[in-house]
Each structure stands twice: as structure tokens, then as C-alpha cells.
Structure 1
Amino acid sequence: MKQTDTKKLSLFALTWPIFIEILLHMLMGGNADTLMLSQYSDHSVAAVGVSNQVLSVVIVMFGFVAAGGASILVAQNLGAEQPKTAGKIAVTSISLNLWFSLALSIILFVFSDFILRLMDLPEELMDEASTYMNIVGGFMFIQALIMTVAAILRSYGYTKDTMYVTIGMNILNVIGNYFVIFGPYGFPVLGVEGVAYVTMFSRFIGFIILLFILVWRSNRQLPFSAFFRYEKKHVKSLMQIGIPSAGEQLSYNTSQMAITYFIAQMGTIALTTKVYVQNLMMFILLFSIAIGQGTQILIGHMIGGAGDMDKAYHRCVKSLKIAILISTIMAILFYSFSPTLLGIFTNDTTIIEKGMLLLLVTIILEPGRAFNLVVINSLRAAGDVKFPVVIGIASMWGGISVIFAWFFGIFLGLGLIGVWIAFIADEWLRGILMLRRWRSKIWMQKAFVKKEVAE
């Protein structure tokens, strides 16, 4: 991997392939399955939606080594012109994520029914949800490896490679879903079970291709001996950055599980509406996600290299303005076409009416989420990883997200609109606090500390 490649990075060059990659991951991981299963059964959609809610928490738990520790440390070391150290960290992160994710995959397979019952899942959804979680959860370690290798390639600036692989995985996934859901040419209709097998097969093929690309891009110079022989300082650095980086996202996803528990008490229609609306919202959100990830890579290189704090500061602010503008415009567009968009998934007028109201409120929600996605990624890239975790846990569990969702949604009987009010309060509070933290420039002290650790 040539050092000169890392000097030519720009936000646009990094972001547009990340945008397409995330879009396609969304399509494969949720929306394609949801859309195609909606032609099969609304109950199947709800079952898969709840299962994916649980699986997303697990993805965060093993993703901390990939997206949190590895990508930041690799970027900082490349910026500091230490490619050998970056390579060792990359291989170590692959190894750590493999063993950790294997353990979690076994837990998901063995305790899938127990986990779903904890969420108070309606009994009519239990069989399909359990089947999906057993298969997808049991092979979740493949997704962990995909995330790790893709994060490493992105930190080196090879965002297009991961995008192309994701395109291939999606094509394979959609074709497979068509056969197992609609049963053309006498093929057996396998429903949710078939969708789960297709998802895992597509991911496995994608991982094999990504691994070959990583070896090729490295000119076979990655120190694969680091897969078994860890250096204590590298493991420590990965954990110091990775675990706090995952903490905020883990808090978010577990709070979403708690809120899903509340929504399950509102009935299958409410649960199905939530799944459809949040699938549409992800298309709005992915702009901010892509800009946030691209900004994280740039700031990591800036701080790891010349230590240009002023340039890094303004990069975050500029990226934030872009993310807020785009997310607001997209939210307005999605609400304007909400009957048509929701009609893609279902003909149920009750679900469509509830969904339209939620998409209207989403216009207020999305700019707040843009704050968090861009600024938190910038703070992580600078090494200030603990502050977002503390604020996230305090806001989501200490008094805003979960408590407000129960109070407005269940206690006051506002239903899903009450839950969305809780989302808005949580995102905007955390977003404003994150921006104040960035403007305070406290992270500049953290950045120098993290550079020393990386070296």
C-alpha cells in the first residue's frame, strides 16, 4: 500500500464510495429483505426487523475493533508515515475480531429464543424471528470480518474496492431472495429461512473477495505473523480507542432494543410501522454516516501526520454544515413522497397513515442525528473517545431516550409519535453537547496523546 496514496485523500473522494457502500449494505442487510418479504408476509417483516434489532447490537460489540480502534490507529500511523506499524495493527485487529465474534455467534445461536422472549415478541412472530436469528446470528462472525477488512481498506484510502464488493454482494443477495421467496421455476419457497441463508452466503462470498483484495493491495507485505503473535502495545491501543468508541453506539443500540420492547406492547401494526419507517429513514441517515466516516479518515491522517489541529478543526465544522443541509433536504423529500414510499412496502392504510406522520416528525430529527454522526466521528479520530460515551449513556439511559419513549409513548398513550419525540430530544441534546466539545478544542490535547500511543 503506497504511502503516496494517503496524501491524495479528499472528503468527496472518500465519501461517495462510502455512501454507495453503506447504501448497498443497508439494502442487503435490511431493506431488500424487508421489501421482498413484504410481498410474502407483514408478519415476516416484523419478525426479521426485531431480529435485526438484536443483531445490530452484536455488530457494534465486535465492530469496535474494526471501525473504532483499527481504522483510527491505521489512519494516524499512515499520517505519521509509519506504514509497518499500521500493517501490524491491521492484522491484529482482524485476529481479535475473529475470535471475539466467533464467541458471540455461538451465544446468539444457543440463546436466540431466550433473547427474543426478553423483548416480549408477539408469539405469532416467534418462529420466524428465531429461525432468522439462529442462521444469521450463528454466522455473524463473517460480518465481523467483513467490517474489519473493509475498515482497513478505507483507512488506506481504498474506498472504491469495498464499494465494488458490496455491489456484488447485493446482486447475489437479491437474486437469491427472489428464488427463496417467490419460488420461480419450481424452486421451493423458503420464506424467512431462505432469506437468512441467502444473506449469510452473500456475506461469505463478499468476505473471501475482500480478503483477496487486501492481500493484493498490500503487495503481500502485511505482517500476517501478527495474526497469532500480538504486540501488547497494539492490543492496548486498539482497546483504548475501540472500546470507548463502541460504547456510545452500544448504548444507542441497546436503548433501541428497550424502546422496541415498548413498541412491541403496542402491537404488531406498530412494530411493523416502525420497521418500515426506520428502513426509509436509513436512506436519509446514510448521507451523514458517509460524511462522518470520510471526515474521520481525513482528521486521523491530519492529526497523525503534521498535527494540523486548525485544519482538522475546520474540516469537522465544514463537514457538519454539509451533513445538516443534505439530511434536512432529504427528510423533506421523503416526507413529500411518503405515501408512495410506504406504499412500496404495504397496502395497509393504517400503517401508511402512521408512517406518514412519523416521517413528518423526522424532518426535525435528522439534523440532530447529523450533529452526532459527524462530530462524534471527528472526536474519535482525534482520540477524544470517552466523552461521547459518557454523554451517550447519560442521555439515552439517564433521562431522555428510553425514559421519554416510555413516558410519551406508553404512559401518555401517544404511541409511536411519543417514541419519535424521545428520539428528537436525545439526538439534539447529544448533538449540541458534542459540538460544544469540539469548539472547546479540548480534543487537541487528547490527539497528541493518541499520536504518542500510535507511535
Structure 2
Amino acid sequence: MSLTKQDRKITLFALTWPIFIEVMLHMLMGNADTLMLSQYSDDSVAAVGVSNQILFLLIVMFGFIATGTTILVAQYLGANNYKDAKEISSVSLSANLLFSLIISVVIVLTSEDILLLMNIPQELLPEATFYLQVVGGFSFIQALIMTAGAILKSYGYTKDTMYLTIGMNLLNIIGNYFFIFGPFGIPVLGVQGVAISTVTSRIVGLIVILVILKRRVHFTLSLKKIFALPGHHLKNLLRIGVPTAGEQFSYNTSQMMITVFITMLGTHALTTKIYTQNLMMLILLFSLAVSQGTQILIGYLIGAKEYDAAYKRCLSSLYAGVIISTVMAIIFTLFSKQLLGIFTTDERILETGAILILFTIILEPGRAFNMIIISSLRAAGDIKFPTYMGILSMWGISVPIAYVLGIHFELGLVGIWVAFIADEWFRGIIMLARWKSRIWERKQFATSKPLPAS
């Protein structure tokens, strides 16, 4: 199935394969940091891992506007309403700039306090604080990159964001190499060097993506728009973004709570969790890419009021996501010790990590249900239900079970992974029932009348 907008043919595959590579490279950037730091110090890996838990939460907070942008731009383009598509893009960039600048300042001022609240081991605190202050202080740059990328993807320019990510990855890896291994007499800075490298690559990435945006969509970021935001566009952005941010905020804070449980098990358990989740992120790549591509296509279809096509598109994407995620989980299980061996030679980490990766055969298909169907529901305008069910499941199932099995019954990381499985499958089954009920057909946005196709 394909759509033609602005004389461009857009298919799920055409949207998804660049997103797949882009997301893979984003994850590999994180893995590159971990892999290269693991040659420097396991404690440094743990310090950056804990800081990244907080930084992921920031990305979620910035992402609520980017998510709304993706959906609304796709719906307007589906309705041939190019004027409002451009306006909502301008509004989203301006709003996220203002919001992210405020958050960045707060992070710089409160980094150490936040880390102490997470019960971080004392020996990790100095490095974790520096990393969080530097990367978090410049997190407004990542917010703008995310928003600009969402606009380009909605217009179908997924290759542009893919090439940008390739360039940012290369810069980051080169910077890591210089600061961790110290060639040519360059000082070895460890965590500090990784933070500097990360920020530098993002600054370059922001400059490039704004240039691309100007060329592709023919508008630029204007500070004046911060003080003159069209009310109806901002209202629609918040209508999508706030509940979406609520769900993602709930997920990340629940993960932070579970990380606190893991810190009770010691630095060894925390390092095992970080290495294992780095590999697990590679397993869910396909589902994540398909969910993003499906969200854009369903946004087009909803804008064009082609509800039957939207219904079938979600289910087709779901079947593909579940099958591929299961196959990838099996492959990773077969080679789990070799893959973990890339990061460490510690036998305890290898043995525990191999068990956790085995559990992904059950975990990842459930995660695919959530990623693909929830993205589809949002694109169709059904925003609040996934949020309410997500909060209920994360805090009513995942966190309590993680504590009871992992800490109380002393099953450690194995018990915590069982909690993850219960949470994903409970939500996944509920979301599938919601999609099949087709209630989302009655939850459309009040958007402007479409302009004639040009």
C-alpha cells in the first residue's frame, strides 16, 4: 500500500528502512559509548548508565511535542492541508526550544541532588554528575534535533535524518576515541571526554538539520514565533503531547525506580543490567522503526478519512513486528555470551546476562504489541487510553513485581525481568483489544478544513 503526497510516493518500507538505520545508529552510539568506556572502567560505564536514565527521561519530556508534530503534520498532509502542516512545524520548533532551555538549566543546577535521590553508589557520583551536567545542560540541542527530525519524517524525508545520524555517530565515535584512548598525546578524559564528544556531535547535527529543514520544507526557526504561537496549533500539540508525555514520563520514572532497586543489588548488578539492555535495544530495533513508519502512514490515512485502510495497516505492521522481534531474540539468545563478551570478561555478568537475554524471547514480542499499536492509536487520535493503561500497568504491575521478586524474594535481575514481561504483555493484549474495537474512529482531532491539493 502506498500514498502519494506532493508528487512523492510513500510506502511503509520507504519510510521504515531509513528509520531503522537511524534508530540503530542512535542505539549504536550509546553502545559505542559503553563499549569504549568498558575498556577504560566498568565503574565509568555504570556512572554513565545511571546518568543516561535521567537523560532518557529528558528526551521523553522533549519528545511530547515531537510526537504531536509527527501526528498532526501527517494528518494535515493526508488531508492535503499543506499550509497548516507548515504552521504546526514552526510552532513545534519554537515551543520545544523554549521548554527545553528551561529544563536544561534545571538539570545543570540539580544534577547531583537527582543522582543522590537515585541512591547511586558514592564512588560513581563525581563522574555521573559531570556527565549529567554537561550532556543535560545542552539537552535543548537534542530537543530541537528531535523536533526537526519529526517534521522531516512526516514529510517523508526519512533518508535525511538517517544520513544526519550517520554523521553524528561518526563524530561521536571519533571524539570518544580521542578522549578515552588518548592518541597523539591527547589527554585521556574518560567520562568527561565522552560527554564533550556527545555534545559536540549534537551541536554539529543541529546546524545541519536546520539547514536541511530550510531546504526541504522552506521555513526556518524564528525566535519571534515563541511569543506569537497560533493558539489552535499549540492546543492540538498539547492535546496529543501531554498524555503521550505522561505515559512516557511514567515509563521512565518507573524504570528509574527499578534502577534504584538494582542499585540495592550492587554495582555488579547495575553493570549487568546496562550491558544486557544495550543488547536488548538492538533486538527491538525493527519494531521501533515499524511503529514510527506506521504512525506516519496511519496519520496520512486518518487525515484522508480512510479508516479501513488504517485498521489493516496497523495489524499488518504488528504481525511483522512480532515475528521479526521473536526471531531476533532467538538469535541473540544463541549467541548471548559471545555478544556480552564484547563488553566484559566477568563470568558473573556473562552468566546472568545470558539468562536475561533468554527471557527476551518472551519479552520482545510483548513490547512489539505496545510500540506498534500504541503508535497507531495515537496517530488515529486515541490518546488518553494508552496513557491511563500504561500508568496502571507500569506502577501496578512492573514496579511492585520487580520489588517483590527481585528484592524481597532475592531473585535479583531475573525477578526484575519477569516484571518487565508481565507489564509488556498485559498492556499489549489490552492495546490489541482497543485497536480491534475501532473506538479510535470516533476520536478525531478538530483540524482545519483541507486546502485544495496543489
**TM more than 0.5:** yes
Alpha-carbon distance, 1:244 to partner: 1.0
SS of equivalent to 2:443: helix
Q: Label 1:58 to 1:221 Cα distance change in 2 as closer, same or farther (>3 A).
A: closer
Give the corresponding residue for 2:43: 43
Q: In structure 2, what is the equivalent of residue 345 of structure 1? A: 343
* Cα offsets for 1:344-392 (capped at 9, x unmatched): 0001111111100000011100000000000000000001010000000
- Cα deviation digits, residues 423-454 of structure 1 (max 9, x gap): 0000000000000000000000013x455699
Segments of 5+ residues of structure 2 without an aligned counterpart are none
Q: 1:416 aligns with which of 403, 413, 418?
A: 413
Offset at 1:309?
A: 0.5
Output the amino acid matched with 2:405: F
- CA 1:25–1:286 in 2, change beyond 3 Å: closer, same or farther? same
Q: Deviations over 1:287-308 (max 9, x none)?
A: 1110000000000001102x01
Instruction: Report the counterpart of residue 151 of structure 1 in structure 2.
Output: 150
Whole-angstrom distance in 1 between the partners of 2:250 and 2:287: 19
Residue equivalent to 1:197: 196
Query: 1:19 maps to what in 2?
Result: 20
Distance 1:19 1:367, change over 3 A: same
Specify the SS of the correspondent of 2:5. helix
Instruction: Pick closer, same or farther for the CA change 1:264–1:223 going to 2, 3 Å.
Output: closer
Alignment of 1:293-372 (within 5 A): 293-305=292-304, 307-372=305-370
The alpha carbon displacement at 1:5 in A equals 3.9
- Give the SS at the match of 2:149: helix
- Quick check: 1:119 aligned with 2:125? no
Corresponding residue for residue 263 of structure 1:
262
Partners of 1:454 and 1:392 in 2: CA distance:
34
Q: Matched residue of 2:80: which SS? A: coil
Structure 2 CA distance, aligned partners of 1:378 and 1:6? 25
- Output aligned runs, 1:444-455, within 5 Å: 444-447=441-444, 449-451=445-447
Unaligned runs of 5+ in 1: none
Amino acid at match of 1:393: I
Q: What do you get for the CA RMSD once the two structures are aligned?
A: 1.5
Q: CA deviation at 1:4?
A: 3.4
- 2:128 corresponds to which letter in structure 1? A
**SS state at 2:247 partner:** helix
Distance 1:219 1:98, change over 3 A: closer
Provide the C-alpha distance between the structure 2 equivalents of 1:236 and 1:113, rounded to a whole number of angstroms: 35
Structure 1 Cα separation of the partners of residues 284 and 155 of structure 2: 25
SS at match of 1:14: helix
Amino acid across the alignment from 1:159:
T
Q: Is 1:128 the equivalent of 2:127? A: yes
* Aligned residues of 2:94 and 2:222 also touching (Cα < 8 A): no
> 1:443: which partner in 2?
440
> Equivalent residue for 1:387?
385
Identity %: 61
The DSSP-based 3-state class of the residue aligned with 1:8 is strand
Change (3 A) 1:139 1:339: same
Judging changes above 3 Å, is the alpha-carbon distance between structure 1 residues 79 and 274 closer, same or farther for their aligned structure 2 residues?
same
Q: CA deviation at 1:226?
A: 4.0
Contact 1:6 1:157 in 2 (8 A): no
The separation in 1 between residues aligned to 2:221 and 2:266, in whole angstroms, is 52
Q: Structure 2: which amino acid aligns with 1:84?
A: K
Aligned counterparts of 1:265 and 1:406: Cα–Cα separation in 2: 11
In structure 2, C-alpha distance between the alignment counterparts of 1:134 and 1:451, rounded to whole Å? 40
Q: What's the CA shift for 1:220?
A: 4.6
What is the count of residue pairs matched by the alignment?
A: 448
- Offset at residue 223 of structure 1 (A): 8.6
- How far apart are the structure 1 equivalents of 2:244 and 2:441? 17
The residue type paired with residue 49 of structure 1 is G
Q: Deviations over 1:61-114 (max 9, x none)?
A: 111001x21110011001111111110100110010011011111111110000
Relative to structure 1, the CA distance from residue 442 to residue 6 in structure 2 (aligned partners, 3 Å threshold; closer, same or farther) is farther
Q: Which amino acid aligns with 1:83?
A: Y
- 2:176: which partner in 1? 177
Secondary structure, counterpart of 1:189 in structure 2: coil
Q: TM-score, normalised by structure 2?
A: 0.96
TM-score normalised over the length of structure 1: 0.96
Paired residue secondary structure (1:400): helix
Q: Counterparts of 1:420-435 in structure 2 under 5 Å? A: 420-435=417-432
Correspondence list, 1:161-310, <5 A: 161-220=160-219, 226-305=225-304, 307-310=305-308
Query: Are the equivalent residues in 2 in contact too, given 1:73–1:454 (CA < 8 A)?
Result: no
1:2-21 residue CA offsets vs partner (Å, 9 max, x unmatched): x8347521110000000111
Conservation of the 8 A alpha-carbon contact between 1:71 and 1:155: yes
Could you tell me how far apart the structure 1 residues matched to 2:412 and 2:390 are?
Answer: 24
Q: For 1:267 and 1:453, locate their aligned partners in 2 and report how far apart those are by CA, in whole Å.
A: 58
- Does residue 373 (structure 1) correspond to residue 371 (structure 2)? The answer is yes
CA distance in structure 2 between the aligned counterparts of 1:149 and 1:223, rounded to whole angstroms: 13
Q: 2:88, 2:255 → 1: CA distance?
A: 32
| Distance in 1 of aligned mates of 2:440 and 2:294 | 15
